[in-house]
Structure 1
């Protein structure tokens, strides 16, 4: 088993690191890492339906899709992530106990009594502190999980809050549970970096060493993958399952009701209804938006050269785009 303490906090790089180590190496691996504030969505989720788009945009919080299934989670520097990469096949089935047992043993050695709840959550006194997911690639298994240590619970609830009436799809939904931080249950206080070192030592059986870092050639390959996939709109948003979007908004120009069908992240069909006034047919705008990615910047680029007031009197570009999210 190779033990890696990845000290980078860029979410795109860290998720790329998991994929690169899974697909480009043969070693069995245990890795600990943290992300700066980010929303991480499951492989089979509709990204926009899982987040409060205004909340994450105003706070400049990255949204990144991971390889594995399951629900969306919020990461910050108070959250620790662990990854096991092991040799095996899908015929081995999903076995969460195998990979969470070393984590639970390490926590018990620190005086924290956690347990596996259901298939993939770890809890303390019924409160969730860890969600887990798995992904298979050929004869390799990737298992990863979160460990809420001293995470900002307010940001967790804020970033993952969305109006359920806006989106209609068959994508995987996130299940909200009561959560807790591990730091609240430790007999003796420690900060997150100390906890990271202790956790690595308990799982690996040895103290953290400098050679537990990613190698230079690995970093180059991971960075290239991060740029190609994990920092791209096509992967993080465009790869969402098809969905229907509906929103009714009171604007300065009147009530505006939006109905959209979106497939592969792009608008396939859109209708704009309401009691607004205009001298030009609204169908011109609808036709202009068909094929456009459901993305603020790209929608603005398509709309900025037309005189919106002639179609939707009193509705400016910013107000119209807000209605589309």
Structure 2
């Protein structure tokens, strides 16, 4: 593998990860107050909470950001533990919209939001419009990073070592899940891990089995942010964090156990040779099925976790 391939591959990856983090931060600035208001106001039922979680995550581009805001609201007594469960499930669905976006062939047009965002920042200087310019700029930079990665990996199709290495991932879904989880833990972004899998799939370097197993592992790796956010939090916030981790563990375990059926189903609903699109579809199907599987048991789960992690008793000082 020559130096130019590595330079553009890792350069694109760095831009991609940096853009995701900055985009999430600036979207949080633009939407945070409104997100807090919407989350606390329109989460009176589990269904409403689910819809709010989907919408907020699709807009903010980060399930971790939405779940962390949810935990903050729980700690501030602005949201009940029961209604937080719907938001967490909705965030898992909302994050799949970014993978669908990554699978679209729009990287060639990344220059337009980059240029428009830069012009807005030059003339606006500060305020809400300036923040919108930042959002546009980092949105364009994100897809420019994808563009760099897509084109840098093309010569790797002629590398027998690299191809055999990626093919070995597809031999065991557990191996792919381990790699996906470890990658997400290191780069702290499940969206970036899934994005990398989509890029490699689009270039025919990753098999459908390898791509889907890496995606499954990425779902678990993203739980680290949630657990960190619950440190020194209320018992209700800790219950929300435990629910998020448990939900991902259970659904990933089911996905790995039923992996062959899952792969066949995703392949059936993705009648295209574009493996990037197949991985994105698999990401969406997995999270939708996971939410539909767990939704009927939310009441039981709420009572179980409330029993295992009860609220601290109020101690009256004489």
Using structure 2 for the length normalisation, give the TM-score. 0.23
Tell me which of the two structures has the higher relative contact order, counting C-alpha pairs closer than 8 angstroms and 6 or more residues apart: 2
Rg larger in 1 or in 2?
A: 1
Q: Which has the higher strand share?
A: 1
Using structure 1 for the length normalisation, give the TM-score. 0.23
